């Protein structure tokens, strides 16, 4: 979920209990340094990574939930 640019940190915290700083630390420890730097450049300041800064058309879309091992359901 953290890799996906449009999934807000608040959705990750709601589902997994990890705050933004914890997500960053997790990504740092699991990605190669170059991949981590590219990810940080992408998400730093990105409006869609924070629910309060998201454009109105993206709010409450319901798409930011992980299925936790369940197959994805397509509509």
pLDDT digits (tens, 9 = 90+) for 18-29: 999 999 999 999
71 lies in a domain? no
Return the pLDDT at 31.
96
Provide the CB-side half-sphere exposure for 56 (13 A, CA). Answer: 0
15 lies in a domain? yes
Among 29, 27, 36, 30, smallest CA distance to 9 is for: 27
pLDDT tens string 40-68: 988 887 776 666 655 566 555 555 555 55
30 lies in a domain? yes
32 lies in a domain? yes
Return the pLDDT at 75.
47
Give residue for tokens 């998400």: 43
How many independent structural domains does the chain possess?
Answer: 1
Q: How far is CA 47 from the centre of its chain?
A: 12
CB 50 within 8 A of CB 8: yes
Return the pLDDT at 22.
96
68 lies in a domain? no
65 lies in a domain? no
Question: In terms of residue numbers, what domain contains 28?
Answer: 9-52
Among 64, 38, 68, 37, smallest CA distance to 50 is for: 64
1 lies in a domain? no
């Amino acid at each position: 979920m953290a890799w996906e640019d449009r999934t807000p940190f608040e959705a990750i915290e709601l589902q997994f209990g990890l705050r933004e700083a914890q997500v960053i630390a997790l990504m740092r420890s699991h990605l190669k340094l170059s991949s981590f730097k590219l990810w940080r450049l992408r998400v730093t300041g990105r409006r869609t990574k924070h629910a309060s800064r998201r454009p109105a058309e993206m709010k409450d879309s319901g798409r930011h939930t992980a299925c936790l091992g369940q197959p994805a359901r397509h509509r």
